A = this chain, B = another copy of it.
Amino acid sequence: MPVLGFDLGGTKLAAAVFSTDGRIICEETLPIGKKTGKDVGRMIADQTTKFLRQQKLTGVEITSIGIAVPGISFKKNETVWAPNIKGWEEYPLKKEIQAIADHIPVKIESDRTCYILGESWVGNARGCSDAVYIAVGTGIGAGILVNGTILSGAHDIAGAIGWMAMQKPYKKRYDDCGCFESSASGAGITKMAISNLRNTKNYTGILSKKPLENLTAQDVFNAYDENDPIAKKIIKHCIMFWGMAVANLVSILNPQKIILGGGVFGPAVKFIPQIHKEAAKWAQPISMQKVSLEATALGKLAGLYGAGLLALQNSNQLNSGHE
C-alpha cells in the first residue's frame, strides 16, 4: 500500500507518493521562499491535505507518512529542531501533521538518517544491515544503520560526526561546529580558502579572481582542477580528514558500506579512491578490507526516498520483508 514521503530542505519541500517497492507514483516540489516558523509547518500540512485528498480521486490510498527534516527529530517530546528554519527550535511538527493525517501514522526523522534509509531501500546500501551515509554539505553529519535499524542514540542526536576529534590540540575555531566539520565541510572548505588567501602574499591564482565574500567550495574544486596551489593544499587536507573519518566509522561500527553524499560529493566523488587509500592506513584492517566505500546512488533524492522507507517501516507493512 502506498506511502507519502516529505523531504524538507533549506530551500524546498519535496513530496512523493511511493509504492511499497520504492517506485515514485507521483511527486511535487515547492520552493520554501522566505517562509519561517509556522508557515513552513503549514506548507507541509497543506501538502499533506492535498495528497490525502488526491487519493480519493486516484484510488491510491496512502497508509503512512514519513518526513525528513534538516535538523533533529526529538521522539520523546515530538518536536523538531532545525537550525536553518527560524522558529524551529522546539517545533511541534508531529502534532500538526498527525492532526491532519488522523489515523494514518506519521514519523519524522533527521535528514541524515533518511539519507541512509533511502540508500538502503533503493540505493547503494540495499541489503545492508550495517551501513553509514556520510553527508558532507554545508555541514557534516552521518546517518547510521546498525543491526538493520536506525541508530538514534539516547536523545536522537547520534551521527553528529562533524564534531569528530581528529587533530589535537583543540583549536578555538572548532567551537561552533567541531573539528572535522570546521575543516572538511563545504563551509569549512570555503573558510579554509579565505584564511589561506588572506595569509598568502603575492598570490595571483584563480581564487583571487573573485571577491572573498562570494567564494564557494565549488570554486575551490574548480581551482583544484586548474592545479591551483591553495586549492590543492586544502583538498589534500580534506582527503586526509575524510579518510580518517571513514576509518573511525569503520573501526567503531564495522559496516558493510559507507556511502559518501551531500553537496560536496558532488565534486569530491572523484577523490573516493584517495579517501579509501587514506582510510585504509588508519582503520581496523579486517573491517577495512570488508567495507565498501561508495558515492550516493540517489544524490539529492536520498532524503525523499528515505522519508518513503521511514513511512513504510512505520506502517508495519514490511515486517520481515525489509531489513
A259 to B159, CA, bound (A): 20
Chain B: CB-nearest residue to A149: B147
- Number of residues in A with C-beta < 8 Å to the partner? 52
Closest CB in chain B relative to A241 CB, distance in Å: 8
Q: B residues within 8 A CB of A159?
A: 252
A28 to B160, CA, bound (A): 44
Q: B residues within 8 A CB of A157?
A: 254, 284, 286-287
Interface positions, chain A 69-90, Cβ under 8 Å from B, are none
Interface positions, chain A 38-77, Cβ under 8 Å from B, are none
Q: B residues within 8 A CB of A240?
A: 168-169
Closest CB in chain B relative to A46 CB, distance in Å: 32
A321 at the interface (CB under 8 A from B): no
Q: B residues within 8 A CB of A282?
A: 163, 165, 170, 174, 178-179
Q: B residues within 8 A CB of A174?
A: 281-282
Closest CB in chain B relative to A79 CB, distance in Å: 14
A217 to B8, CA, bound (A): 53
Is B129 a contact partner of A154 (Cβ separation < 8 A)? yes
Is B256 a contact partner of A164 (Cβ separation < 8 A)? no
Is B251 a contact partner of A155 (Cβ separation < 8 A)? no
Of the candidate stretches A98-106, A242-250, A266-274, the one touching chain B is A242-250
A297 at the interface (CB under 8 A from B): no
Q: B residues within 8 A CB of A235?
A: none
A206 at the interface (CB under 8 A from B): no
A146 at the interface (CB under 8 A from B): yes
Q: B residues within 8 A CB of A255?
A: 153-154
Q: Digit string of A219-255 for contact with B (CB within 8 Å is 1, else 0)? A: 0000000000000000000001100110111011111
Is A160 a contact partner of B252 (Cβ separation < 8 A)? yes
Interface positions, chain A 111-152, Cβ under 8 Å from B, are 128-130, 142, 144, 146-147, 149, 151-152
Is B147 a contact partner of A130 (Cβ separation < 8 A)? no
A-B contact pairs, 15 of them (CB 8 A): A129-B154, A153-B253, A153-B287, A154-B255, A154-B290, A155-B286, A155-B290, A157-B284, A160-B252, A162-B284, A163-B251, A163-B284, A165-B245, A168-B240, A179-B282
Extra 14 A-B pairs, beta carbons < 8 Å, given A151-B253, A168-B240, A178-B282: A130-B153, A144-B252, A146-B153, A147-B151, A158-B252, A159-B252, A162-B251, A164-B248, A165-B245, A166-B167, A169-B240, A170-B282, A248-B252, A252-B252
